[in-house]
Structure 1
Amino acid sequence: MTQQLILDLLAAPPPSLDNFIVGENGAALDALRNFAPGRAIYLWGPSGAGRSHLLKALAAGPSAHYFNAQSPSGAMRALASSEALPLALAAVDDVHLLDEPAQAELFALYNRWRETAASDKAFALLVAGDRAPLAMPLREDLRTRLGWDLVFRLEQLSDDDRANALRTQAGERGLQLSPEVIGWILTHYARDMGQLSALVDALDRYSLEKHRAITLPLLKDLLATSQPQS
């Protein structure tokens, strides 16, 4: 197995609602599965809770647009003022990092959302940040808009949730991960479930290629082999 193939296997799969590990976030996921034009959802929670995963999953749909603090200046305002661009959903991530011009653009996007909510030009607006609306370090008129419709706090997955997800994914492939392997992964590897899922896939293929059972030495061998060469 070439090093590049291993690196490709370790790459996290594209975010989707189906590969989001729910944990205690069932209400938020249900709302997103039933997200309709004219509705807005604000998601907040700590880093690693899955905010960006969910926004990118929804923004992968047709006529959907994803923005964050690195988006080109004016992009949100152009979308808010355009009559020509088809718009089903706008997703704005990490709003706590937006500078003043970008906050003004999001303000304009919220106003467009509200103006069109009951019309045939309605679109869904999905926004995320690291804290509750009124605690956000944003201009006051934008802070209040974050709470205009549905608001959900995302809870981080517990180690038990991650361990159960790893066991389930491994079981679906006919694999058994020992408590030693799972414990090492949860302690030393990424906490993001997309990366953890990719690691299980890579372990499956690597164990077949090496004709070895999945053990802690095999896991460490895989990760050492996947390190980029200097």
Structure 2
Amino acid sequence: MRQIPLALLAPPAHSFDNFLPGANAEALAYLMGLMPGDPPVLLWGPTGSGKTHLLQGLAERWQSAGQRVAWYDADTPLPWELPAHESLLLLDDCQRFDAGQQHAAFGLFVASAGQGYNVVATADAPAVDLPLREDLRTRLGWGPSFALSPLSEPEMRAALRRDADRRGLLLGDDVLGYLLTRFERNLKGLMALLERLDEFALATKRAITLPLLKAMLADETGEGREKKMDSDPNL
């Protein structure tokens, strides 16, 4: 019979302090210096490059300073209303916006123009390549644009070790190597996998080892989380 582990350790809030910039230091520095009324900013790059983390870090920074923050993404129900006072408007994953949301996002740009609002948006491609209505693409591409890159393998290792240390876990090089070679190098996904591994270790009362990781993956058969690779006789 397995124990059910208690959720004693809440995940850290996404902030600038726990963002590993890697090749994205320029974007981080710009956002840290963002001032009310500055032009709109677009952060673009592939999944795992830290776009949403930076938005959440920016929101945390502005809210800590007493500023209002409004968040809009593809899961935010319409209508999208402009806050009554100057605010930070965050548009996440713009490439996912449907026709109604694109219309609403453009409306936010129009209504906030010259009123002291800031708009910071994210997408998976530069504005010119986004499958959006032309007037919205133009607004997204008007201000500074930063191409974000995923962390390198050494940086990814450092991030996973830091999260393991936060959890009080001893993460061997063999476990780290397996995670980075068998799974997509998406930091958010790897962090979630590490969290599941921590829970599995607590439930089974075993130390985190490569055999334990493989046992957990076998226990999760059918979830399709492991990358397809050449057959491994040790699996």
TM-score, structure 2 length as denominator? 0.73
Cα distance change on mapping 1:89 and 1:56 into 2, 3 Å: same
Asked if the contact 1:10–1:195 (Cα under 8 Å) also holds between the matched residues in 2, the reply is no
Q: Once the two structures are superposed, what CA deviation does each residue of 1:97-123 show, in whole Å capped at 9, x if it has no partner? A: 22222222211212233321xxxxx12
Match status 1:216 vs 2:216: no
Tell me how far apart the structure 2 counterparts of residues 25 and 212 of structure 1 sit (CA, whole Å). 38
**Residue aligned with 1:181, SS:** helix
Match status 1:138 vs 2:138: no
Partner of 2:152: 158
Partner of 2:56: 56
- Residue 45 of structure 1: how far off its partner (Å): 0.8
Identical positions, percent: 39
Partner of 2:24: 25
- Residue 173 of structure 1: how far off its partner (Å): 7.3
RMSD (CA atoms)? 3.4
Partner of 1:73: 78
- Residue 190 of structure 1: how far off its partner (Å): 6.3
Asked if the contact 1:9–1:198 (Cα under 8 Å) also holds between the matched residues in 2, the reply is no
**Residue aligned with 1:152, SS:** strand
**Residue aligned with 1:115, SS:** coil
Asked if the contact 2:3–2:204 (Cα under 8 Å) also holds between the matched residues in 1, the reply is no
Which runs of 5 or more residues in structure 2 are unaligned?
222-235
Which runs of 5 or more residues in structure 1 are unaligned?
117-121
Partner of 2:113: 114
Cα distance change on mapping 1:222 and 1:127 into 2, 3 Å: same
Asked if the contact 2:5–2:203 (Cα under 8 Å) also holds between the matched residues in 1, the reply is no
Q: Once the two structures are superposed, what CA deviation does each residue of 1:181-220 show, in whole Å capped at 9, x if it has no partner? A: 1111223456443454466577678878988654212444
- Residue 74 of structure 1: how far off its partner (Å): 1.4
- Residue 44 of structure 1: how far off its partner (Å): 0.7
**Residue aligned with 1:165, SS:** helix
Amino acid across the alignment from 2:49: A
Q: Out of 165, 179, 182, which is 2:176 matched to? A: 182
Larger relative contact order (C-alpha < 8 A, sep ≥ 6)? 1
Amino acid across the alignment from 1:148: W
- Structure with the largest fraction of helix: 1
Amino acid across the alignment from 2:144: L
**Residue aligned with 2:42, SS:** strand
Tell me how far apart the structure 2 counterparts of residues 132 and 161 of structure 1 sit (CA, whole Å). 25
Asked if the contact 1:69–1:102 (Cα under 8 Å) also holds between the matched residues in 2, the reply is yes
Partner of 1:41: 41
Between 142-151 and 156-165, report the one with greater CA deviation.
156-165
Asked if the contact 1:66–1:90 (Cα under 8 Å) also holds between the matched residues in 2, the reply is yes
Amino acid across the alignment from 1:50: G
**Residue aligned with 1:69, SS:** coil
**Residue aligned with 1:3, SS:** coil
Asked if the contact 1:12–1:195 (Cα under 8 Å) also holds between the matched residues in 2, the reply is no
Cα distance change on mapping 1:167 and 1:144 into 2, 3 Å: same
Asked if the contact 2:92–2:122 (Cα under 8 Å) also holds between the matched residues in 1, the reply is yes
**Residue aligned with 1:43, SS:** strand
- Residue 221 of structure 1: how far off its partner (Å): 5.1
- Residue 153 of structure 1: how far off its partner (Å): 0.6
